[in-house]
Structure 1
């Protein structure tokens, strides 16, 4: 995501904040420009913007419909809440009663708007249904559209590609993680049928505790990276005739423990981060940063992480930064998340620690030219009923 603000995005968790905020909290920090690593950058202010009521928060997703901003926030314990931005804050617009879900993903097909929700479990049954809802412009609500069988559903990802016949193909990938006994369960890719105006089964993919999909279009090819939790993460490639995805590469490095795959584009090159949560209950890890070289991903460097479940890249002032969402360190959920700067393909510099409470995921987005950040707080060693907070970033006045 490219910001118009020449600042570093910073975030922190503040205690006892009102529903909306007046004034700001300030954190002094420095930015190290790429060409002048020893120079001091501009100070920034972090302005608490709004807190969102959540209960074991999972992943959030910001999107726009008819030039109006929305935010879908998944609480595992309760439902998916859809907020609409009105005047100066996000206002609850709809509660989608889907509990025990992990993620919500918004997407658009031919002027139609959809929200897919990945459901992990129903009571004790991991074989359940994950819904896709369709926006009704008349009611201004999302309504039931299709349901897909999921087995420990963890993530939905939509992506589109131009076919060999010069048609636009819309895919929807559902990551399945666990069936109650084992992690070796297939994930599924669906394809949009334009004439029937619905998704149809396209292909099952062999996955091992799939936690996240990352679609990548690079040099005219369509790839799909899969973060496998109990095996090596892998990359699939769509065949030239669009008939199926075939296994392209098993990522070198760690054999398991991946929670997310995050593509990053820097200086005309493609990178991929394999976000490692833990290995053998050891939470201090080094998540590999791969670079695309000679038609394959090779390790370029590693990023120190501790119980990290997501990394959210963004750029400001032509610099590349990563927000690291840290969930658990083996002892407590009240741990620091962080902001790092990617200096180049070999150098990732730690910049700032951020107090979070079982941060299940981070989400950065831009609204009216302003960078926003949200951490999904899920647990503080006592309760899952915590506020997840949105922050607004602004340049400090001289």
Structure 2
């Protein structure tokens, strides 16, 4: 279990589960400057790696992000590789055709035109090497996925160079040798997109796009479905979200598909701390048709929710950056068990 808060100098900590008291306990603070936006872990050849993507330190956005490796000799995570990032916001790992890929989405706050990078694992030096560049406009989120053995990347673009929330999210195909091809711009995504995710169900491929248009939180989260006859994603469902949506997490339990949407505020505008208390809704896919409201959890400026399994049981880890009173101190990383 890892925890990070996107504020200047905030540490990134690792926690380990204690079987005796059935609680997660502080285990290690990861070395290196930390202003982490996202953490991605993966296993290559039986070895655990953890990638921490850093946003900025002070006003400096061009900073290092780090890949850590679990050292079985010491029992701790150690720095393995440094990646150059510019306002890093998200990362996505995918294994495909015995190859390993890592997408790093950069934001670059002051100049939103920047390339995001897809890295490919080099088995000889056991490090990631640059494979492809993807142009983004205020990149907020990204997801690697595959269809018919071909690698794709979906990018949620947030705003233009003139600070307008009109830029659409894009789907890219990555061809042999890292050549990129723009497949399409997603319909109704030009509303300050902050999240993108992908999943498959019954042979179909879906994308889920989260929109948050500047000061207006009343935006639909869009579910797209790949149309095999036209080779493009088409809108499958619009999900109204009551509060300020930021990211979606797709998970499966017992073969059923769920989406939970992390929310940051109940409404935009004003400085009242109680607005940081919001509801993160959970939706369930009924059959292969539509998502319906299933439940919700209370959030306090929640920027991400992670689904994980431990000993055959399922959990949701909720990362809040505000406390229950709306303040910045003692914000909680909450863990919920799925029952």
TM-score w.r.t. structure 2 length? 0.87
Q: Deviation per CA, 1:139-158, whole angstroms, max 9, x where unpaired?
A: 11111121111110111222
Change (3 A) 1:280 1:392: closer
Aligned residues, how many? 316
Which of 4, 9, 15 is residue 83 of structure 1 equivalent to? 15
Matched, 1:368 2:295: no
Are the equivalent residues in 1 in contact too, given 2:199–2:207 (CA < 8 A)? yes
The alpha-carbon deviation at position 103 of structure 1 amounts to: 0.9
The alpha-carbon deviation at position 76 of structure 1 amounts to: 2.6
Q: Secondary structure at the match of 2:105?
A: strand
Q: Secondary structure at the match of 2:113?
A: coil
Matched, 1:391 2:327: no
Matched, 1:177 2:107: yes
The alpha-carbon deviation at position 266 of structure 1 amounts to: 2.3
Matched, 1:335 2:278: yes
Matched, 1:234 2:170: yes
Rg larger in structure: 1
Which shows bigger deviation, 337-346 or 144-153? 337-346
Change (3 A) 1:345 1:285: farther
Q: Deviation per CA, 1:30-64, whole angstroms, max 9, x where unpaired?
A: xxxxxxxxxxxxxxxxxxxxxxxxxxxxxxxxxxx
Cα separation, 2, equivalents of 1:377 and 1:316: 24
Counterpart mapping for 1:271-290 below 5 A: 271-276=206-211, 278-290=212-224
Are the equivalent residues in 2 in contact too, given 1:301–1:345 (CA < 8 A)? no
Q: Secondary structure at the match of 1:207?
A: strand
Are the equivalent residues in 2 in contact too, given 1:341–1:349 (CA < 8 A)? yes
Which of 82, 88, 95 is residue 29 of structure 2 equivalent to? 95
- Runs of 4 or more off by more than 4 Å in structure 1? none
Cα separation, 1, equivalents of 2:2 and 2:154: 24
The alpha-carbon deviation at position 342 of structure 1 amounts to: 2.1
Are the equivalent residues in 1 in contact too, given 2:246–2:262 (CA < 8 A)? yes
- Which segments of 5 or more consecutive residues in structure 1 lack a partner in the other structure? 1-70, 163-167
Are the equivalent residues in 2 in contact too, given 1:300–1:345 (CA < 8 A)? no
The alpha-carbon deviation at position 317 of structure 1 amounts to: 4.6
Counterpart mapping for 1:1-398 below 5 A: 71-77=1-7, 78-87=10-19, 88-97=22-31, 98-162=33-97, 168-178=98-108, 180-230=109-159, 231-239=167-175, 241-276=176-211, 278-294=212-228, 295-305=231-241, 306-328=243-265, 329-331=267-269, 332-344=275-287, 346-380=289-323, 381-394=326-339
Cα separation, 2, equivalents of 1:346 and 1:393: 23
Change (3 A) 1:254 1:172: closer
Aligned to 1:11: none
Are the equivalent residues in 2 in contact too, given 1:152–1:177 (CA < 8 A)? yes
TM-score w.r.t. structure 1 length? 0.75
- Which segments of 5 or more consecutive residues in structure 2 lack a partner in the other structure? 160-166, 270-274
Change (3 A) 1:314 1:145: closer
The answer to which structure, 1 or 2, has the higher relative contact order (CA under 8 A, 6+ apart) is: 1
